[in-house]
Structure 1
Amino acid sequence: MIRLYDYLPSGNGYKVRLLLTQLAVPFERIELNIIKGETRTPEFLRKFPNGRIPAVELDDGKLLFESNAIISYFAVGTPFLPADSFQRAQVLQWLFFEQYSHEPYIASVRYLVIHPDVQDPRRPILDTLMRPRGYDALRVMEGHLKSREWFVGERYSVADIALYAYTHVATEGGFDLAGYPAVRAWLERVKSQPRHIPITQG
């Protein structure tokens, strides 16, 4: 069985959990507390040198890390990844956007807010740089979603899963989504998809 190394509050871990659940792929979830450094042990680092979750160990022993690489792997040959080559490139476009322009700000601000005791050098720029860049990402998403239901084509895909993971909990980081009606409507569409699970469900 697939083994998923995870941390329940993590949106990156949630991406994999959500996709596997929606694909009805069985997996064993192994909880690792990142606050306590449980992904920095020699045993974990021998398998996954980046020292982060999520990470997966496949049935055949192959190892894979980085959330968007993992969901892309499991989405191949399913409706979650378009067959059309240009639309696949568009999915990758949004996966890269999520990791470069969205996750470093929206997810990181949430992390710092919900873990106030964690020492982090980014705290002085939380309100002056990180949160404004998070709103920049939300504006890009809002503009894109004003004229469409999903990020790529006419179907829910891993592009939606990747962006949903931290957007739907952005308010936990102090982001106000009131001015983003298209984003809020899209969040409800994602939530209504078959086999949807909340981020709190292991």
Structure 2
Amino acid sequence: MASNKSNGTLYTYPGNIHGFKAQIAARYSGTQLTIANENQFKMNETNQSEEYVRKFPTGKVPAYENDAGIYLFESNAIAHFLSNEQLRGTTLVEQSEIIQWIEYSEREIYPVSTTLVYPCMGILQFNKSHNEHAKAELKLILQLLNDYLRTRTYLVGERITLADITIVCDLLLLFEWIIEPCMRDTHPNLTRWFLTLINQKEFQTVIGTNFQLCEKTAIFDAKKFAELSHRNHVPQTQPRPKDLSQHSHEHVEEVKSKKEKKSAKEEQKPATKSKEKEQKEDDNTNAGDDETDEVYANEPKQKDPFADMPKPTFNMDEFKRVYSNEDTAEKAIPYFWTNFDKQHCSIWFCEYKYPEDLTQIFMTCNLISGFFQRLDKLRKHAFASMCVFGENNNNTIAGIWIWRGHELAFELSSDWQV
């Protein structure tokens, strides 16, 4: 039976987010994986060689081979092969849910990412209608993930799986180029999940420790695109230039080729454009900017209910990260008692007041989800662990809360008095 325990080699290029998936999976599973060096693999040269195509008929990157004679292409297949049982899912349901999220990411998230980011990088020509459609799709994607992660630490189960790895990798360019602070603020659950994962050592070893979040949504740079197209233009039947490969997907040759067909006439003209044309392109680009800024500018700012309280020394966000990613008994609880600021924070125990009204377990869980949703603005200053005890038609809710101050936090905001 084929095994992933044999020494393997991954053929990829620096910055390839699809190569990241396999590398991160190998870090978690402990599988032996070597990244081909520059002497072993040169993009657009090695992958066009007869030997490479014999092993990997599509000529795509990334690709994988090991000492047992296994040859694989397509990033998701490679990542799956290099994973352990935890990453793949321990039950049939978990495995199916993981595949569900991987397919969603590849079909929905990645196309939106390339449409929005590649023009900003100068790889593809800007298309206003495509850009507007991608922005609308991005809003739906971010909202879906944010809602789903409201009561979940990870996408499937209680541990990191290939679902998390795949979607984080497909979101990397968006968080780097498009998803600016106001967008992250409106999707706190998604942002918390993303930051939790990219700060894991298995992720940082692959993507680096200095990942920079977007400060302002990038826009299409017409001048940069013209310069790159003029300098690096090659016949449509050949792959894109090497220096564009660092941030591109294995299929970007096909996408770029289609764009080149549309803009062949423009590319025959001088790369330097008149100021009038540049101004017109800038106007068209700005017209397609995200409307988030305008929405937030018109929305009345609400005072932070905790603004007048002394700032505690207890770092709530850091404790949540420890609680989510470390063993509760051995790491999280000792961390809590070592760092808890009892002078400025308090601990509360709660029980559901009307347990006789509770019926089905799943309905009780939905009550908790709805409760958390209404208290979302409290999230920054509080921590809660709620549990359902009992069985169908005989259950109740209890939990522990921690927040700033020594009084009931719900009295601080009318939004919380529900």
Residues 166-202 of structure 1: CA deviation (Å, up to 9, x unaligned): 323313332334222111100122134353324258x
Residues 116-144 of structure 1: CA deviation (Å, up to 9, x unaligned): 1x3x46x3155222343233322221121
Give the letter aligned to residue 3 of structure 1: T
The one of 11, 15, 22 aligned to 1:9: 15
Corresponding residue for 1:81?
Answer: 88
- Whether the aligned pair in 2 keeps the contact of 1:2 and 1:28 (CA below 8 Å) is yes
The offset of 1:11, in angstroms, is: 1.1
Corresponding residue for 2:103?
Answer: 96
- Whether the aligned pair in 2 keeps the contact of 1:22 and 1:194 (CA below 8 Å) is no
Q: 1:165 & 1:25 partners in 2: Cα distance?
A: 19
- Whether the aligned pair in 1 keeps the contact of 2:12 and 2:63 (CA below 8 Å) is yes
Q: 1:107 & 1:183 partners in 2: Cα distance?
A: 20
The one of 29, 35, 58 aligned to 1:29: 35
Q: 1:59 & 1:131 partners in 2: Cα distance?
A: 45
The one of 140, 165, 187 aligned to 1:180: 187
Corresponding residue for 2:62?
Answer: 54
Corresponding residue for 1:65?
Answer: 73
Distance 1:195 1:169, change over 3 A: same
Distance 1:126 1:173, change over 3 A: farther
* TM-score, with length taken from structure 2: 0.43
The offset of 1:74, in angstroms, is: 2.0
User: What secondary structure does 2:69 align onto?
Assistant: coil
Q: 2:54 & 2:60 partners in 1: Cα distance?
A: 12
Distance 1:39 1:126, change over 3 A: farther
Distance 1:10 1:108, change over 3 A: farther
Count of residue pairs brought into register by the alignment: 194
Matched, 1:42 2:49: yes
Distance 1:109 1:59, change over 3 A: farther
Corresponding residue for 1:147?
Answer: 151
Residues 81-139 of structure 1: CA deviation (Å, up to 9, x unaligned): 2211111100000011011011121245334433x1x3x46x31552223432333222
User: What secondary structure does 1:4 align onto?
Assistant: strand
* TM-score, with length taken from structure 1: 0.83
- Whether the aligned pair in 1 keeps the contact of 2:65 and 2:72 (CA below 8 Å) is yes
- Whether the aligned pair in 2 keeps the contact of 1:8 and 1:200 (CA below 8 Å) is no
Q: 1:168 & 1:42 partners in 2: Cα distance?
A: 31
Corresponding residue for 2:260?
Answer: none
Matched, 1:162 2:166: yes
Residues 146-177 of structure 1: CA deviation (Å, up to 9, x unaligned): 12110001111110000111323313332334
Q: 2:115 & 2:31 partners in 1: Cα distance?
A: 29
Ranked by relative contact order (alpha carbons within 8 Å, sequence separation 6 or more), the top structure is 1
Q: 1:91 & 1:39 partners in 2: Cα distance?
A: 33
Q: Pick which of 153-162 and 45-54 moved more.
A: 45-54
User: What secondary structure does 1:195 align onto?
Assistant: helix
Give the letter aligned to residue 72 of structure 1: H
Give the letter aligned to residue 58 of structure 2: N
- Whether the aligned pair in 2 keeps the contact of 1:151 and 1:159 (CA below 8 Å) is yes
Equivalent residues in 2 for 1:98-113 (5 A)?
98-113=105-120
Q: 1:33 & 1:113 partners in 2: Cα distance?
A: 25
Q: 1:50 & 1:66 partners in 2: Cα distance?
A: 9
* Percent pairwise identity: 23
Larger Rg, first or second structure (1 or 2): 2
- Whether the aligned pair in 2 keeps the contact of 1:106 and 1:173 (CA below 8 Å) is no
Corresponding residue for 2:175?
Answer: 171
- Whether the aligned pair in 2 keeps the contact of 1:55 and 1:65 (CA below 8 Å) is yes
Q: 1:161 & 1:50 partners in 2: Cα distance?
A: 24
